[in-house]
Amino acid sequence: MTISLIQKYNVPGPRYTSYPTVPYWDQETFKRNLWIDSFKKAFRESNANEGISIYIHLPFCESLCTFCGCHKRITKRHEVEQPYIQALLKEWELYCNEFDETPIIKEIHLGGGTPTFFSTEHLTMLINGITSKAKIADNHEFSFEGHPNNTTKGHLQTLYNLGFRRVSFGVQDYNPEVQKAIHRIQSFHDVARVTVWAKEIGYTSISHDIIYGLPFQKLEHIIDTIEKTKSLSPDRLAFYSYAHVPWIKGSGQRGFKDSDVPKDDEKRLLYEKGKELLLKNDYVEIGMDHFSLKSDSLYKSLNNGNIHRNFMGYTSSKTMLMVGLGVSSISDSWYAFAQNEKDIEKYYELLDQNTIPVVKGHILNEEDLIIRKHILNLMCSLSTDLTEDLEKVDFSTTLSEMKEFESDKLIEVKGNTIKITRKGRAFVRNICMAFDLRLQANKPDRQLFSMTI
């Protein structure tokens, strides 16, 4: 890979956890009742076959991590826990009222915020309240995000007893200077302790999240972090690019200057070195920012064609319907997206009115569904075949841009099949942008997205 290619393609671009991407959702045609209709249609089509997924957003954190772009509320007041759990259960009840049969849950994921901000008693209340109105699929996968500093053995054991077998721990980087800059001080000892606990209890998939491109991060920091990580042998790793988006309200990205953040070839070198070390230690690269051991379900799903990408990143199974509960959560019925109210007090008000608290979204048209399919194919299997859709969608602009990628040896084109090369893996987001007809038709006049490299 040459530095000139990195400089050429390092432009602002989406991460494609959805298509259309959130800034291009059509708010004019979205209505709550249309979302409900879409939701019910997806439920009827998927419940008996694959089941449904539930994402639960738990937004509270005791301190602000300044690398984070997620929706959160900073507080040390744990009396906020119970009202929020009750609100989540009320929201789930409102959805259950729309079902014409008992839901079958295949996936539950607790995200944040900091899910382990909540006590074991309140987490038990939440999960029991959700599952009491549902059946659980035999091949279910329950997962949660744990903060190494406040995840107790009690958290791990309680959630294990409730059916959770996957846990991901946010590591980011072990260097003290980097940790200070991102306000995430945690020792290797803390990470090792919770990882060992999870293994002892019986979790079958333990993941560590690492971020490259953080402020003050250098090559030796990535090497040290990967070396420490491999000594703990997590089953999978998310090796994310830091998304520097200080212009987004609530991102909290402060305490360092733009010049403190590695860029272009310097940033990409951090990833390439980390990748090299991981591949040497039996990890397999999956998609554009995940790695797993061959024993993990993520690798197995890659081989059997079930790997999927959504707002939670890569997952080892696909469901048509993903219900998002909690403030700012996004639901996906495949035919539509819907996002909940972001303000907690307003979220509570809507629930008090017995109203499902979605406030924005997008109803996908036929072209959206086709484009979404091809972007998912590229993101998950690194190839897609346009044959059956060439007469349905005008791909002329896309195919024109493919010539440039092909010239740079980032893709191979055979007939109507586009395959991303090993060299092209670093530019997956750029290649997907060529398929993004909404972005092509309406280029933003201000920066909406983080840089692609």
pLDDT digits (tens, 9 = 90+) for 29-78: 899 999 999 999 999 998 888 899 999 999 998 888 877 767 888 899 99
The token duo for 218 is: 């250098």
Size of the chain, expressed as the number of residues it contains:
453
Is pLDDT of 399 > 80? yes
133 phi, psi to nearest 5 deg: -105, 20
The token duo for 372 is: 């979404």
User: From CA 159, how far away is CA 166, in angstroms rounded?
Assistant: 10
Q: Which residue has the higher pLDDT, 67 or 448?
A: 67
Confidence of residue 10 (pLDDT cuts 50, 70, 90): confident
Weakest mean pLDDT among 7-21, 237-251, 408-422, 425-439? 237-251
Per DSSP bridges, beta strands 336-340 and 330-332 are antiparallel
Per DSSP bridges, beta strands 205-212 and 236-241 are parallel
**Global model pTM greater than 0.75:** yes
The token duo for 31 is: 């209505």
Q: Which residues contact 123 (CB under 8 A, 6 or more apart)?
A: 110, 115, 155, 158, 159, 162
Q: Which residues contact 308 (CB under 8 A, 6 or more apart)?
A: 301, 314, 315, 316, 317, 318, 376, 380
* DSSP β-bridge partners for residue 107: 53, 141
Return the SS3 of 437.
helix
Confidence of residue 416 (pLDDT cuts 50, 70, 90): very high
* DSSP β-bridge partners for residue 310: 313
Spatial contact of 356 and 362, defined as CB atoms under 8 Å apart: no
pLDDT of residue 203: 98
Q: What is the pLDDT of residues 69-91, one digit of tens each?
A: 678 888 999 999 999 999 999 99
